[in-house]
Amino acid sequence: MSQSAAVGTAVPAHHAEHVEESFIRHYVFSTDHKMIGRQFLFLGLFMMVIGGLLAMLVRWELAWPESQVPLTGWIPEPFMYDGHMDPAFYNALFTMHATIMIFFVVMPILVGCFGNFLIPLMIGTRDMAFPVLNMMSFWVAAVSGVIMLAGFFVPGGHAAAGWTSYAPLSAVPTYTGVYWGQNLWCISIIVLGVSSLMGSINYITTIINMRAPGMKLFRLPLTIWALFIVAILLLLALPVLTAALGMLLLDRLAGTSFFQGPGGGEPLLWQHLFWFFGHPEVYILILPAMGIASDILSVFSRKPIFGYHAMAFSMIGIAFLSWIVWGHHMFQSGMNPMLGTSFMISTMVIAVPSAIKTFNWLGTLWGGDIHFTTPMLNALAFVSMFVIGGLSGIYMAATPVDIFIHDTYFIVAHIHYVVFGGSIFGIFAAIYYWFPKMFGRMMNETLGKIHFWPTFIAFNCTFFPMHILGVGGHMRRIYNPLQYNFLVPLQPINVFITISAFCLGLAQIPFVINFFYSLFAGQKAEENPWHANTLEWTAPSPPPHGNFGALPTVYRGPYEYSSPEVPEDYLPQTRRLAGEPVARAH
């Protein structure tokens, strides 16, 4: 440890001499973790626009089935017939909405952007352990994104077997009529898996080896704990998906039959492999947001996080348990029912650490001095929406109830409360909170609130009624609910949801304006605008190449707010109080 710190201190002098970098080295093929973080942010936000628009088309179809969709006359046959949607194209739309949002929005932003940007800054080092690998990880992800988008333009259209791509539907081209779309889908995610592998190795190495002197593991901010755990999950989960995708691709292209009965394969094998990856994946999407929300709640309550150790250990517990709950996606799949019972038990168990975290967030607010900044509002939205998403999970964990609600809109409601209500509000909170450090300018608070409130309200109007649809038995992934007599009385709810979804889309306009306006004309940010304790706020805004002048030394945990030892209501990790021993490298 002392060695790497020593190596680290040697760097700034070196960098100070070489500030001049070519445009390409600085903005395109950058090895600076902060630039790579920003690149991931722009990739994710760009993809979010596409994923969001796809959702709008899906929602139009559900509210006014088989009618002419406005503004889509330019989409050619056989996808749209003069604005009328083809059912196969509808399948491609929801497949790609989910694929893009999960793999190209939430993962790049929470893990790619904030993982890259925050890890070196919050642990007090100059860059990632492997900067070139880090650069490659972004560019490989970008290539993967291009491959994924290319799928929209091949004959037969894009993948249409759902983001879960259950075999044999996904394994035999004639079952969907999709040829290269599904192949490109597989290839893109295999490539993305390589990117994420490079990233996760880098994160793990950096966090283990390159912490500043005095930065013990239990002085790490919870955001870093979350990213550390997520990197381990990624390292272990993604290769399973990559292997499964490779097999699927071989089934499609080389005539193997891993997932088809007649050739000796087994359709359920795909589901086991997919969900063995897929459930840790759910926590990959939510854990970083949990860490971020913990940090932001503590900062704006001006109060230490309640139960720091319990918070860290509950995330570790969630990570371990996430490996043995995958079968709860498969209760009705034909898997042995006895196995269903064991997966139900492990699933019930994983609810306990989530409950601990929720109560600790409440404990953090209790007795606080709460400032309602935009990042704080988004963090509070995260907590309250995660409560709903967590509680609705109990319904499907209970196997008999799951018989009814499995594959209905209840599941769609649940996943959106977790991934939008959780991860996306976490992303908004993080962007508003760290924007000053990333770009050196503050975001506009008024516009931030104009973004937050309509988003929060429209989000709930969009996704809460989906629970009701699910209780009414409304299946997922159907193109026209009016084909079913028992769904006809529910149709007004579909219309309400669609109108709310359009409002939710429109509510993002103030965010886009705020983001770009603040990027160029926002008020200049000081070093520590939020009076926070963690190390990134001791670097200039934005931090230069190499981040810190002299490397910081850490004297305490990250949550010493309103400590009686100092008159101010914050006590940065780097501040040495009289009488404290000089920290040595640990």
Partner 1 sequence: MLRWLPENISTFGPGIDQLFYLIYYITGVTFVLVTGLLVAFIVIYRHREGRRATYTHGNTALEIAWTIAPALILVMLGLLSKGQWDLIKENPPPSDTQIRVTAKQSNWEILYPGPDGKFETADDYQVDNDLHVPVNKVVRILLRSKDVIHSFFVPQLRLKQDALPGREIIVWFQATKPGRYEIPCAELCGFGHSGMKGALIVHDAADYDNWLKERWPPKETGTAQADSSDAKKG
Least Å distance between CB 57 and partner 1? Answer: 15
Q: Which is nearer to partner 1, 338 or 550 (CB)?
A: 338
Q: Which is nearer to partner 1, 395 or 502 (CB)?
A: 395
Token duo for residue 16 = 């100070």
| Binding-site member from 194, 457, 461, 471 for partner 1 (CB under 8 A) | 471
Q: Which is nearer to partner 1, 526 or 569 (CB)?
A: 569
Distances (CA, A) of 158 to 151, 189, 214, 479: 5, 14, 51, 17
Q: Which of 271, 272, 142, 127 is nearest to 194 (CA)?
A: 142
Q: Which is nearer to partner 1, 24 or 262 (CB)?
A: 262
Q: Which is nearer to partner 1, 303 or 437 (CB)?
A: 303
How far apart CA 156 and CA 148 sit, in angstroms, is 15
Q: Which is nearer to partner 1, 83 or 363 (CB)?
A: 363
Q: Does residue 358 bind partner 1 (CB under 8 A)?
A: yes
How far apart CA 374 and CA 455 sit, in angstroms, is 12
Q: Does residue 213 bind partner 1 (CB under 8 A)?
A: no
Q: Which of 168, 186, 406, 343 is nearest to 269 (CA)?
A: 168
The distance in angstroms from the start CA to the end CA of the chain is 7
Distances (CA, A) of 189 to 50, 242, 326, 457: 17, 8, 20, 34
Reduce the DSSP state of residue 158 to 3 states and report it: strand
How far apart CA 425 and CA 419 sit, in angstroms, is 9
Q: Does residue 459 bind partner 1 (CB under 8 A)?
A: no
Q: Which is nearer to partner 1, 115 or 278 (CB)?
A: 278
Least Å distance between CB 189 and partner 1? Answer: 18
> How many chain residues are in contact with partner 1, going by CB under 8 A?
99
Q: Does residue 307 bind partner 1 (CB under 8 A)?
A: yes
| Binding-site member from 31, 72, 332, 491 for partner 1 (CB under 8 A) | 332
Q: Which of residues 530-569 bind partner 1 (CB under 8 A)?
A: 559, 561-564, 569
| Binding-site member from 84, 216, 371, 524 for partner 1 (CB under 8 A) | 371
Q: Any alpha helices (H) in 100-130, and if so which ranges?
A: 116-123
Q: What is the DSSP string of 70-95?
A: TT-TTSPTTTEETTEEPHHHHHHHHH
Least Å distance between CB 34 and partner 1? Answer: 31
Q: Which of residues 124-183 bind partner 1 (CB under 8 A)?
A: 160-162, 166, 168-169, 172, 175-177
Q: Does residue 480 bind partner 1 (CB under 8 A)?
A: yes
Return the HEC string of 382-393.
Answer: HHHHHHHHHHHH
How far apart CA 469 and CA 178 sit, in angstroms, is 30
Q: Which of 183, 333, 324 is nearest to 253 (CA)?
A: 183
Q: Does residue 580 bind partner 1 (CB under 8 A)?
A: no
Phi, psi of 84 (to 5 degrees): -95, 130
Q: Does residue 374 bind partner 1 (CB under 8 A)?
A: no
Q: Does residue 388 bind partner 1 (CB under 8 A)?
A: yes
Least Å distance between CB 481 and partner 1? Answer: 8
Q: Which of residues 231-260 bind partner 1 (CB under 8 A)?
A: 260
Q: Which is nearer to partner 1, 138 or 530 (CB)?
A: 530
Q: Which is nearer to partner 1, 11 or 365 (CB)?
A: 365
Residue 87 preceded by cis peptide, ω within 30? no
Least Å distance between CB 94 and partner 1? Answer: 9
Least Å distance between CB 405 and partner 1? Answer: 8
Q: Give residue 222's Cα distance to chain centre.
A: 16
Count the alpha carbons within 13 Å of 491 in the hemisphere toward its beta carbon. 17
> CA dihedral defined by 89, 90, 93, 97, rounded to 10 degrees?
-160
Q: Which is nearer to partner 1, 73 or 87 (CB)?
A: 87
Q: Does residue 400 bind partner 1 (CB under 8 A)?
A: yes
Q: Does residue 401 bind partner 1 (CB under 8 A)?
A: yes
| Binding-site member from 148, 285, 344, 525 for partner 1 (CB under 8 A) | 344
